[in-house]
Amino acid sequence: MSLAERNAPQRATPPPAASPPPGGATAGPDVPAGHARQVLRGTVDAVLAMRHAGTRKLRLAYELAGPADAPVVFLAGGISAHRHAASNAIDAAPGWAQGLLDAGRALAPGQRRVLSFDYVGADGSLDAPIDTADQADAIALLLDSLGIEALDAFVGYSYGALVGLQLAICHPARLRKLVAVSGAHRPHPYASAWRALQRKAVALGQLQCADDQGLSLARQFAMLSYRTPEEFGERFDAAPVLASGRVRVAAEEYLEAAGAKFVSRIDATAWLRLSESIDLHAIDPAAVRVPTLVVAIEGDRLVPLSDAVALVEGLGPGSRLRVLRSPYGHDAFLKETDRIDAVLAAELDPPRRPQASASPLSDRTGASV
């Protein structure tokens, strides 16, 4: 792998100082003196040796927000997540993880620098198999370009958790700790079957010259796997209705809206290849040598609690498991903002107090809340 070229990044506004730190900085009224808020958005041209697709020239798009002297946390979400995690001085639009980066949160850019990127293949230009280890290598290249020796932490949710595990294996010196939420060392066969059906829906749409319809249907299938029967029972417990001679159930409008929204923001080829990437994922937990917190959700139909337990049992010293109960299943990271923030705060800003020695079991397993 080699880094080809760093493109000029976007900056929030020109800083008053004559010699700003790399990337530029802006100071806002709520930023203490000496902690100029920095917002950096740019691209990096890189050459990446991929596991299944040969050597490729790629463009990595990133966004970095927070005080220049703050510790850096990499935040990675599901396959439809992207570099814009939250609103900032460059882009006021809400990001995919907006609630977790609001003021006062553990990931608030006023406390630390938050770095996110567009996954390799996210623009749809790479129609080839993509490994989660390829994503980890791309992150290492990005860190090189930005002059970041090591991340204070990597917080990964869903696909991001898989990428974080690979980063901890392939580039352990680049992160001090890993928080892996709703992700494991391998795809569960049930979840792989769900994704295979979703990909078939996209392929059928492509055969019919109806790419958008196929991708929308795949997303609607996915929503059923992300959420739980309990949530649907509470939200859509209504009698079906007749419309134009057809029966429509209460959840259909919700699912169709989710499909339409998804189609407007992701390319079909990108989605197919990143969906495949989840099913290609396979690691040996024992190879992870970075302190890791695994967060599992009871009722997650894609990453069952049993897989999270197996992952933690295979990880090295310093690994722990936290289990949350939520009606939102796999989507709990995005829906249970307060509770996820509390977990992150405890992990990223642990209280400094003496702790009594604990048994191996209690040291590695957290309570369900």
Between the alpha carbon of residue 144 and those of residues 25, 141, 166, 255, the distances in Å are: 20, 5, 17, 41
Options 118, 134, 137, 300, the catalytic residue: 300
Q: Catalytic site residue 35?
A: no
Q: Catalytic site residue 330?
A: yes
Q: Which residues are within 8 A (CB) of 145 and not within 5 positions of it... i.e. 6 or more apart? A: 3, 6, 44, 46
Report how far Cα 265 is from the mean position of its chain's Cα atoms: 16
User: Which of 42, 19, 18, 38 minimizes the C-alpha distance to 27?
Assistant: 38
**223, HSE (Cβ side, Cα atoms, 13 Å):** 20
Between the alpha carbon of residue 76 and those of residues 103, 160, 167, 338, 359, the distances in Å are: 19, 5, 12, 18, 32
What is the token pair recorded at 161? 């958790």
| 3-state SS assignment for residue 222 | helix
Burial class of residue 206 (count of CB atoms within 10 Å of its CB; 0-12, 13-18, 19+): middle
User: Which of 123, 64, 121 minimizes the C-alpha distance to 95?
Assistant: 64
Burial 69-82 (b: 16+ CB within 10 A, else e): ebebbbbbbbbbbb
Options 158, 225, 277, 319, the catalytic residue: 158
Only one residue has tokens 């109960």, namely: 325
Residue 327 and residue 228 in contact, taking contact as beta carbons nearer than 8 Å? yes
The pairing of beta strand 320-325 with beta strand 292-298: parallel
Q: Catalytic site residue 188?
A: no
Options 225, 281, 330, 331, the catalytic residue: 330
How many Å apart are CA 218 and CA 275, to the nearest integer?
11
> Would you please indicate which residues are annotated as catalytic (active-site) residues?
158, 300, 330
